[in-house]
Structure 1
Amino acid sequence: MSATNLTAPSGAEAQAGESRAKAWGFTSLLVSLYVVNWADKAVFGLAAQPLAKELGLSASQIGLVGSAFFLAFTVGGFFAGPLNRWMTLKSALVLLAIGWSVAMLPLVLSATFTVLLLSRMLLGFLEGPSSALVHTSVFSWHPREKRGLPAACITASASIAKIAIAPALAILMATQGWRAAFLVLAVAGVVWAAFWLPTWRVGPYGTDKASAAADEDEPVSPWRAVLTTPTFVGGALAVMSMYALVTVVLTFLPSYFELGLGYSQVQAGTMFAFPSIASLVVMLLLSGIGDRLLARGATSRMLRGIVPAIGLLVCGLSMTVVPYLGAPVVAVVVVSVGYAFGASVFPLFNSAISEIVRPRQMANTLGIFLALMAIGGLVAPYVTGVIVDAAASPADGFARAFQIFGAFAIVGAIAAMLMVNPERDKARLLEEAR
């Protein structure tokens, strides 16, 4: 078996079921699902101050809810592989989408701290498996050397949600109250499912539960070998450190703009999109160029290892200087630009992980990888809330939190720079599978 067969069918087999228009059509449909996913996450950050006023919550309690969400999210991530074995990708994703809608409703019906905590944990658990399953679905329609841009589109869903959806939700909250935003998102999941069910099928570069039996005679790599490859370990450390920053941004960035920098609620909700606009540009640019260079013979070591590690390093260094920035507009720019470069780690490292395993191991591998990534979100929101409550002012507290998690990002960047090498680890795993 050649190294290419570790991650994709043969050229003849792939071409038989391949349509680039269809591939990008399904990619767009899955991106829309992930926009809903990220809007469900972002709505809590937007509603944090209205909820704090209505329920009498402290910053620590808001942070606790954020951390509890990501605790459940981490646990849920380990179920991506089992779901991929128990049911088809079509059934698994529609089940999750409907579950997200249901999880938005309890708080609308009974607004208490307990209901807030439990409903966000339920949402986190149901969102946990989604990233691995969405990436597995998308990658089934794209060959190895063309996965960077589709992965960037998935990751860009977070940016799209914050650019297009968050400002609209902020205006809706300001005019109709926070409950209206939760109801709109509940409906959105059901609407997506109505489009998904009659259209989806697995692409030529992947497998599904229904077709996995055909691959049973193909060798697979031992899980011990997969999970201890330097690419997996270094990539996990990098995305874990960046995800800690992502969860702080999701939970507290509107509050930082409002309480720390003095902007209004609507301004803060609108400016919530600024880091996402910057990250959208950087991710699509790096991923698109990277895919073209890979097709021309460049190495994944450079384009899916060194390049995102440098981006994460820039992010970490940017965040460490936030406490020393006096002007609010400068702080907004630095946070936005730093976040943009750091966010490039997600599509590029997800693509790197997809290279080192066979298609039928991909959902499980990505599920574990992304669950480990979410560990960064377990403590970051709560720690940020504690720092803000203890600080002399909200501005000082938020800035100090950004600095601390920026330092973690620098450590993750160095680890990835030294360890991530998909070509080397793909070859090692192929030997293990023989």
Structure 2
Amino acid sequence: MGQKSAEKSKLSRTAWVVIVLLFLLTVISNADKAIIGFASVPIMKELGLNAEQWGIVGSVFFLLYSISAVLGGMLADKVGTRVVIAGMVIIWSLVQFSTLFMSSFAFLLITRIILGAGEGPAYSLAMTAASKWLPKEKRGIGISLVSVGGPLGVAISAPILMSMISNYGWRSAFIATGVVGAIWVVAWLWIVKEKKESAEESIVSEVDVNQAASQENTKFSSVLLSKNFIFIALCGFATYWSFTIGLNWLPNYLENVRKLDAEVLSIVVALPWILITLSQISFSMISDRLFHKTKSVVKGRVFVLGPVMLAGAVCYFIGSLLSSNLLAIALLSLGLTFGCITLVLGPAILMELVSKQHQGKIQGWFMAITSLGGIVGPYVTGYLIEHSSSAAAGFEFAFIVCGVVLLVFGGLVWALVRPKKSEVPLITQELPKSV
């Protein structure tokens, strides 16, 4: 029994290939998002934009993001994740190529809205696709391997794209990511086939469906309206508030307020994304160990997520008040780092709340609510900067507000998220003895 369990927890060669491709997907997706922050200064100068307008540029990206995340999840449940993911990346690439013709604020807004619609389902579908290939005991670290492509995408692309922007103009960076996206689509469609459930997984799914008829907490509608899902999604909202400030405003802050030169900036701007990568892997491994030991989502996942979010809030509070460039950058980087933990532990918790046939939808709804933080955060930041006595004072206030959001929603998750299913040993939920 122990040997069978160990074999089932191993990843197949095909699963590893899928995980690598999904990792590259998140690398490309986040590089696409990050370019706008790297190119903020030259774009604002060329188009004559003020801070509040730039906040709008950051926010409109998420206008259709929520809707497309939900629709993408629903579509993936019907036709499969493979085709939907390929369609998304085609949209990204076309939008990136279109920036070659950008000449106005209105054009910039339109491209950001379309790009956001294309990228809306990306993270949730990557998590859903990865989960199909991952054994339950490996989901925390497996999802992290995919998720860390996000921060690594920013960290890896930062020096390359900033060099291209400096030497060849900001449009060259957009074109480059469009080319990379097109190459990825070809590889994805060529290599990956939609995963079919094995006989054992089908039996487990049937058992889940039968249990859903008598257990309210496995019904999709009741999970969607439950306090557990709502608080986890609001924690995601806080995460995206912090995450999008890092994407849209941090390079601008470092250049205009902290006065870092181009060479130092290209290195420093990658720091928080490297830290996010390391922290997501570390905390997911800790979470997996606790989950394996306790068989409890609360003890293994929730009790890691909440404290880390609060640590992020503290780092924002302190970092915003320091005059030392070195200490301020270090603490603000840690604030952004710890604030992003929901992106790996949130989906892992949600996978335990619904049966297989609803996993695409619940992840889509999670990202829909999460992405609202991406609408509010950048605009609030831009408004505070534009209407403060100085850019430095505006940024300081914006970082404190972000810390408060992390503190409130991270604290609510830590104190109140208690999935009933998490207290049932998952080992007993595998297969009926008669199978």
TM-score, L = length of structure 1: 0.89
Match status 1:123 vs 2:115: yes
- The answer to whether 1:243 aligns with 2:240 is yes
Aligned AA (2:359): M
| CA apart distance, 1:389 | 1.2
The worse-fitting range, judged by mean Cα deviation, of 77-86 and 100-109 is 77-86
Distance 1:307 1:206, change over 3 A: farther
CA distance, structure 1, for counterparts of residue 9 and residue 249 of structure 2: 45
CA contact (8 A) 2:319 2:329 kept: no
**2: CA distance between counterparts of 1:363 and 1:19?**
21
- CA shift, 1:136, in A, is 0.7
The CA RMSD measured in Å over matched residues stands at 2.5
Q: What is the 5 A alignment of 1:14-413?
A: 19-203=11-195, 218-219=209-210, 220=212, 221-413=218-410
Residues 204/426 of structure 1: CA separation in 2 closer, same or farther (3 Å cut): farther
Q: Which residue of 2 aligns with 1:7?
A: none
Q: CA offsets per residue over residues 156-215 of structure 1, 9 Å max, x none?
A: 1121112111211001111111011000011111100111112113446699xxx99x96
Confirm or deny: 8 A CA contact 1:236 1:369 kept in the other structure: yes
Change (3 A) 1:12 1:322: closer
Q: Contact (CA 8 Å) 1:279, 1:341: kept in 2 or not?
A: yes
Q: 1:412 deviation in Å?
A: 0.6
Distance apart, 1:224 and its partner CA: 2.5
Q: Which amino acid aligns with 1:218?
A: V
Answer yes or no: is the 8 Å Cα contact 1:18–1:141 preserved in 2.
no
How far 1:391 sits from its partner (Å)? 2.0
The CA distance in 2 between the partners of 1:217 and 1:315, in whole Å, is 37
Q: What is the rounded CA distance, in whole Å, between the counterparts of 2:126 and 2:259 in structure 1?
A: 38
Q: Which amino acid aligns with 1:239?
A: G
Q: 2:209 is aligned with what amino acid?
A: E
Give the superposition deviation at 1:321. Answer: 2.4
Instruction: State the alpha-carbon separation in 2 of the partners of residues 281 and 387 from structure 1.
Output: 31
Inter-partner Cα distance in structure 2 for 1:86 and 1:358:
15
Which secondary structure state, in structure 2, belongs to the residue aligned with residue 71 of structure 1? coil
Deviations 1:315-339 (A, max 9, x none): 1121122332111111100011222
Structure 1 residue 13, shift from structure 2 partner:
12
Deviations 1:12-70 (A, max 9, x none): 89979975332222111111011100011000111111100111011111110110101
C-alpha contact (below 8 Å) 1:305/1:417 kept by paired residues: yes
**Is the 1:309–1:345 Cα contact (8 Å) retained in structure 2?**
no
Measure the CA separation in 2 of the matches of 1:94 and 1:136: 14
* Alignment TM-score, normalising by the size of structure 2: 0.89
2: CA distance between counterparts of 1:134 and 1:186? 19
CA distance in 2, matches of 1:32, 1:87: 22
Measure the CA separation in 1 of the matches of 2:417 and 2:88: 32
1:353-406 deviations in Å (ceiling 9; x for gaps):
011111111000100011101111111111111111122222221121011111
Residue 293 of structure 1: how far off its partner (Å): 3.4
> Would the alpha carbon gap of residues 323 and 289 (structure 1) be closer, same or farther in structure 2, given more than 3 Å must change?
closer
Among 416, 419, 422, the alignment partner of 1:419 is: 416
Partner Cα separation in structure 2 for residue 330 and residue 382 of structure 1: 26
Q: Percent identity?
A: 29
Separation in structure 2 between the aligned mates of residue 45 and residue 217 of structure 1, nearest angstrom:
44
Indicate conservation of the 8 Å contact 1:143/1:205, yes or no.
Answer: no
Residue 296 of structure 2 contacts residue 422 of structure 2 at CA under 8 Å; is this kept in 1?
no
Query: When the two structures are aligned, how many residues end up with a matched partner?
Result: 413
Q: Check whether the contact 1:255–1:268 (CA below 8 A) recurs between aligned residues.
A: no
- 1:109-161, CA deviations, whole angstroms, 9 ceiling, x for partnerless residues? 13211110000100001111111111110000112221111221222112111
| Contact kept in structure 2, 1:231 and 1:353, CA below 8 Å | no
Unaligned runs of 5+ in 2: 213-217, 425-435
C-alpha distance in structure 2 between counterparts of 1:357 and 1:206, whole Å = 19
